[in-house]
Each structure stands twice: as structure tokens, then as C-alpha cells.
């Protein structure tokens, strides 16, 4: 099928027509002939490369009550994503070639976006013995990102071995930086608010200590380290220092850590309970600045769906996590573009180009130019919408942005020239 996208502002620039044919961008120009093509009116819309998420929890296999690959990838497409990395903390854990291939095939069958399984670093994400890293890398899923996300690889010897192992096939270890002894029974960010509320504090140093150690290990081994969901100003400084040394360290920040603060815990609403916890306004400002200057490489959603009963409970027993695929681009616009910290080209770099490069995705993260794969997001930055959890495409409803007015809406998403979203609706 051939599509002619009329009048789109590519990366926020001047309006251009984009002809999509045979899965690629065939032509870009003005006044292109609409003959033999289905025309899409993109007046006022921004054309971005299809978004890539390095950090998505699709929950399947094992927790289909919260999300499935089908529902999660529909939510991803609705949010403008053409590729997601599915984290390994499923049931069973994605620590073998068989499980990662199952997730990969489920993604291909769903067809809403590319699904790239993340392999566990350790067996059962228990932190005791390395998982089958080589077998997962050689599998049909072609795994290149490995993480025990939800748990920290706190054993320094195991972390070193993992970094050494993945180096052989240009893989990357994505660390959930949380020193476990420093966060026992922790409920929220350690600080003024936790003291006032009487909730056990989660100190920033628990994150920063692990990041410091792992940057040094990555440099010692000469391997790639990716830091998941950076949340503190101190972590930013450590990563900036590591990059100044030329070490192979990359990092991500979540949309919620770019917009929300620990003051929301004063409501005692578990919708704001997340790992790592929401931090202070000063941390939010540091994270935004780090994303703008490239110290933090990309935005990653850490989309973490939970069933209703896991969140509609008291704070202490409530599950940690928030959904974020459908609101990520809007939050990024509010935090980074509308504040003047990034332009649309910069946001495309942080939400598509860089995460694709980190995940070694050859077919994703290409800017819209003739000959590039037609992975595209058409986005209306001018509309305003109030987030309604009931309207979510995800199977879960645990969004921290419920009732909040956010800018922008995804109008269309194309995966290799095939629309997965049109007029804001999943096809």
C-alpha cells in the first residue's frame, strides 16, 4: 500500500509531503502527486521517527492479568512507538532462549510494533548465577540487552562476569541500580517528605553507589553499561563523570521522573509508588538538564502495568510501578519541548535514535529521509487532553497522570509503511 502524508512538519520543520511505499520513505517534497496513493492530511502534525522504548514490562508470560504482549504493544503503538524492549521479569523469567523466543514470536504475531526481548542477567533474576546469555544472544530473538530489572545485580563479581560475557557479541547490561541493604523496607524517597509522613526512606545513595561501582567495572572490562531509570541529581553527576572518561556508559530517564516529585506521596495514593521512587524538585530539574545536554541518553517508559487490586490498597503493600507508553510523548513534550530544553529534533534523538542505537536495532531509529524504513509517528503538539485511565489501550489503568491535562496526541503511527494507528485509534 502507498500512502501520501500531506503537509507534515518533519522534526518540527517546514511542511513537507512524505510518500511511503513498499515499507520505506520513497520521496519527500512539496506538492507530491497523490495518484495511486491513500492520502493522509497531516496539516499541523509533526513527523517523528517511530519511537523506541528500551524499558517496557509486557508481563507475558505469567502475568496476563496485568498486560499481554497484544495489549501492551497496542498501547505502545497508540503512544507512537514502533519498537519496545520487553523486560525479563516475567513468570517464568526470560532467562533462556526458549522464553525470549516465545516473547519475540508473540510480538510478531501481534504486529503492532517490534518486540525485542530483554534477557535476564542471572537465572531467575535471583542474582546468584549467570543466565544463558550466549544462548539468548544466538536465539531467534537476537537478544542484545540484558537486565535483572526489578532487582539489582548487586554482586560485583557477577556483574563483572556479565559485562565480560556480553562484550563478545556487543551486548549491553542494563542495571537496575539499587543497593538492596540500603533500601530494605523502603517506601519512598528519603528526605523531608518521608520524614513528615513517617514512611521508610529510600536514600539517593542506594542508587548512586551502584552506578559508581558499575561505571568503574564497565571501564575495567571495556564493556557497555546502560543505567536504567536514573532518578537522582547525584546519579547524573556520576554518569557525566564516566562519560567524560570516554567509558561506554549510557543512561535513561522515565517520563514520570521528568515531571513528578515525591510531594505527591503526601496523598498516600499508591498510584505514585514506584521503583525508583519519585524524587525532589531539584532532582527533576537535574534530570531534565541531563537529558537536554546528552548526559542522559534517552527517555524510557518503564511501563509497569498492575491489576487494580495491586494498586487500590494501602501504601505499604501496594505494588510499585506505573504505566507510561500512551503518555510518554506528551510528558516529554511538557517537560522538555514546551520548556525550551529540547526542540523536536532533539526529542526524536532521545526517544528514537539513541535508544535504537543502544539496543542495536538496525531497522529502527532512522530519521525521516528518502530510503529510510517508514517507521513514523505523526503527532499533534497543539491539542490538550485530560488523561483518562478508562480510555487507556493498556490492560491496566495505573497511570499517575490521571486527571492531568497534557499536551499533544499521537495521530498516526506507521510500522514499516503499515499504519498501526490512524486518527488516534489503533488499527
Q: Which three cell numbers stand for residue 9?
A: 512538519
- Ligand-binding annotation for 142, yes or no, is no
Q: Is 116 annotated as a binding residue?
A: no
> Backbone phi, then psi, for 55, in 5-degree steps?
-150, 90
**149 labeled binding residue:** yes
How many CB atoms neighbour CB 307 within 10 A? 17
Annotated binding residue 41: no
Whether residue 302 is annotated as binding a ligand: the answer is yes
Does 411 count as an annotated binding residue?
no
Which of 53, 114, 302, 349 is catalytic? The answer is 302
Annotated binding-site residue? 189: no
**Cα 347 to Cα 283, 298, 329, 344, 407, distances in angstroms:** 20, 9, 9, 5, 15
Gyration radius (Cα) of the chain, Å: 21
Which position has the grid cell 546528552? 294
Cα-Cα-Cα-Cα torsion 4, 10, 13, 16, nearest 10 degrees, comes to -10
Annotated binding residue 375: no
Length of the chain: 427
CB-based burial, 120-152: b 16+ in 10 Å, e otherwise: bbbeebebeebbbbbebbebebbbbbbbbbbbb
Q: Can you read off the three cell numbers belonging to residue 90?
A: 516475567
C-alpha 201: how far from chain center: 26
| End-to-end C-alpha distance for the chain, whole angstroms | 15
Within 10 Å of residue 174's Cβ, how many Cβ atoms? 30
Respond yes or no: is residue 22 known to be catalytic.
no
CB atoms inside a 10 Å sphere around CB 285: 12
Q: Tell me if 343 is assigned to a ligand binding site.
A: no
Q: Is 74 annotated as a binding residue?
A: no
Residue 371 neighbours by CB distance under 10 Å: 9
- Asked if residue 309 lies in contact with residue 65, where contact means CB atoms within 8 angstroms, the answer is no
Residue 128 annotated as lining a ligand binding site: no
Known binding-site residues for Zn(2+) equal 55, 57, 149, 176, 229, 302
**Where in the sequence numbering do the catalytic residues fall?**
302
Known binding-site residues for substrate equal 57-59, 89, 275, 306
Amino acid at each position: 500500500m502507498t500512502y501520501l502524508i500531506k503537509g507534515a512538519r518533519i522534526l518540527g520543520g517546514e511542511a513537507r509531503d512524505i510518500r511511503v511505499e513498499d515499507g520505506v520513505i520513497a520521496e519527500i517534497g512539496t506538492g507530491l502527486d497523490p495518484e495511486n496513493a491513500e492520502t493522509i492530511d497531516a496539516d499541523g502534525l509533526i513527523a517523528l521517527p517511530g519511537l523506541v522504548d528500551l524499558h517496557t514490562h509486557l508481563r507475558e508470560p505469567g502475568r496476563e492479568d496485568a498486560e499481554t504482549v497484544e495489549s501492551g504493544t497496542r498501547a505502545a503503538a497508540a503512544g507512537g512507538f514502533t519498537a519496545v524492549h520487553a523486560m525479563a521479569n516475567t513468570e517464568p523469567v526470560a532467562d533462556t532462549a526458549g522464553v525470549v523466543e516465545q516473547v519475540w514470536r508473540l510480538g510478531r504475531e501481534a504486529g503492532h510494533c517490534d518486540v525485542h526481548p530483554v534477557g535476564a542477567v542471572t537465572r531467575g533474576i535471583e542474582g546468584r548465577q549467570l543466565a544463558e546469555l550466549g544462548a539468548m544472544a544466538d536465539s531467534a530473538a537476537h537478544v542484545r540487552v540484558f537486565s535483572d530489572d526489578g532487582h539489582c545485580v548487586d554482586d560485583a563479581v557477577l556483574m563483572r562476569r556479565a559485562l565480560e560475557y556480553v562484550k563478545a557479541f556487543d551486548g549491553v547490561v542494563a542495571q537496575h541500580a539499587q543497593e538492596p541493604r540500603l533500601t530494605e523496607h523502603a517506601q519512598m524517597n528519603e528526605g523531608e517528605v518521608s520524614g513528615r509522613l513517617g514512611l521508610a526512606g529510600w536514600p539517593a545513595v542506594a542508587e548512586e553507589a551502584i552506578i559508581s561501582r558499575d561505571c568503574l567495572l564497565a571501564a575495567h572490562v571495556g564493556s557497555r553499561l546502560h543505567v536504567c531509570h536514573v532518578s537522582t541529581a547525584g546519579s547524573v553527576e556520576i554518569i557525566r563523570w564516566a562519560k567524560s572518561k570516554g567509558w561506554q556508559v549510557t543512561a535513561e530517564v522515565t517520563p514520570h521522573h521528568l515531571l513528578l516529585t515525591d510531594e505527591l506521596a503526601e496523598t498516600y495514593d499508591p498510584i505514585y509508588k514506584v521503583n525508583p521512587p519519585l524524587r525532589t524538585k531539584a532532582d527533576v530539574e537535574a534530570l531534565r538538564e541531563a537529558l537536554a545536554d546528552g548526559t542522559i541518553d534517552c527517555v524510557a517508559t518503564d511501563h509497569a502495568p498492575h491489576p487494580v487490586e495491586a494498586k487500590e490498597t494501602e501504601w505499604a503493600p501496594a505494588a510499585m510501578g506505573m504505566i507510561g507508553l500512551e503518555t510518554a510523548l506528551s510528558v516529554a513534550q511538557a517537560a522538555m519541548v514546551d520548556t525550551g530544553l529540547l526542540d523536536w529534533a532533539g526529542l526524536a534523538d532521545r526517544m528514537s535514535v539513541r535508544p535504537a542505537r543502544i539496543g542495536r536495532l538496525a531497522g529502527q531509529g532512522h530519521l525521516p529521509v528518502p530510503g529510510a524504513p517508514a517507521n513514523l509517528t505523526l503527532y499533534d503538539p497543539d491539542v490538550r487532553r485530560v488523561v483518562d485511565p478508562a480510555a487507556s489501550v493498556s490492560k491496566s489503568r495505573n497511570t499517575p497522570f490521571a486527571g492531568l491535562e497534557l499536551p499533544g496526541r499521537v495521530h498516526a503511527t506507521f510500522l514499516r509503511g503499515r499504519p498501526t494507528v490512524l486518527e488516534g485509534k489503533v488499527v
